[in-house]
Amino acid sequence: MSDRIIRLAENIIGPTDQKRLESYGAHVIQHGWATRFTWTEHDGDPLFDIFRGGADEHLAARIGRHRDRHEFFAEDAAGQQIAAGTLAHVMAEIDTFLKTGSGGGDQNPA
């Protein structure tokens, strides 16, 4: 056994939650509420980005995890909080946000 100490980052999005988020990304695409998803990073923290819009694609929502609050969060493209809490709660709130068109892009007047 090694005497080496391994320090893991606090409250990162682990492999199980990564799989749940990617499955969720497929769910919102299947319903037509998004066009793609991807992983990004900010200050060493992973973020799950959901996009919509085709040729005029834009960020609709972003999911991350607060290290200090021990909760997941979702923000819109402007950085305004959509929801915070358990991952299941955050995903349910994003469903509503995207279904109602609040994720931007489809409210542009013709």
Q: Domain for residue 79, yes or no?
A: yes
Q: Is residue 50 part of a domain?
A: yes
Evaluate whether residue 108 is within a structural domain: no
Burial pattern 41-80, b for ≥16 Cβ within 10 A else e, equals eeeeebbbbbbbbeeeeebbbbbbbeeeeebbbbbbbeee
Ranges under pLDDT 50 in the chain = 105-110
- Residue 2 is assigned to a structural domain of this protein: no
Q: What's the confidence (pLDDT) of residue 54?
A: 83
Residue 71 confidence (pLDDT): 95
**Residue 108 confidence (pLDDT):** 35
Structure confidence at residue 10 (pLDDT): 62
pTM: 0.82
- Whether the Cβ atoms of residue 35 and residue 52 lie closer than 8 Å to each other: yes
Structural domains of the chain, count = 1
Whether residue 38 lies inside any domain: the answer is yes
Asked whether residue 19 is assigned to any structural domain, the reply reads no
Give the range of the structural domain holding residue 81, as residue numbers without chain letter. Answer: 24-99
Instruction: Report pLDDT for 84.
Output: 97
Asked if residue 59 belongs to a domain, the reply is yes
